[in-house]
Structure 1
């Protein structure tokens, strides 16, 4: 398996984990009081959109040439770090 395929498999597994986290966060948000619930659900929806954008970018990486995918990887890694940070931040607020 080449470096590109390993990266795609790794990122897909991370996005699958994020999907599960987003579902858990949504369940937590649904248990919150009305005002907080709207805020949390908005946050969950933003993460869901970011994850969908990343999924689309990952599909682009799959079809990219060997030279082009490395450049795309940088942007996808940045998006991944932002999404991961957002989820960690949401967990810390939802636990309170």
Structure 2
């Protein structure tokens, strides 16, 4: 967002050097296009990062499942319940990511904030579950 504002300010500053109306319009158009490109790049990078995090988490949940399969009794039951809850959170995040990929402009910025919070919650839940599994060994 700061870059968009900076681009706009720069555009208006450059317009002072422009000598014709057409030059001012072109410089304004160029600055707007640069802001859109930058926002698109940010969105794409965020999507790639989130895809990578979800893939890594999937592998970690698979490892937890293997660990749970080696348990017995209440420990096994509790681990399976926590894994099920983690997978549900992960599925919701995947759905949000699919929506984010289709969003644009202000909507994507708002979704990014929501997804970041959801990722933090999922990460925290995973860390807590993992720690509890270590304790139940």
Deviation at 1:31, TM superposition (A): 1.2
**Distance in 1, Cα, partners of 2:100 & 2:65:** 29
Which of these two proteins has the greater Rg computed from alpha carbons? Answer: 2
- Residue by residue over 1:31-66, the C-alpha shift from the partner in whole angstroms, topping out at 9 and shown as x without a partner, is 112111111101001100110110010010000012
Map residues 53-92 of structure 1 onto 2, 5 A cutoff. Answer: 53-92=92-131
Deviation at 1:2, TM superposition (A): 0.4
Unaligned 5+ segments in structure 2 are: 1-39
Report the counterpart of residue 65 of structure 2 in structure 1.
Answer: 26
Report the counterpart of residue 36 of structure 1 in structure 2.
Answer: 75
SS in structure 2 opposite 1:2?
Answer: helix
RMSD (CA atoms): 1.0
1 or 2 for the larger relative contact order (CA 8 Å, sep ≥6)? 1
Moved over 3 A (4+): none
Report the counterpart of residue 54 of structure 2 in structure 1.
Answer: 15
Unaligned 5+ segments in structure 1 are: none
Pair 1:46 & 2:85 matched: yes
Give the TM-score normalised by the residue count of structure 1.
0.95
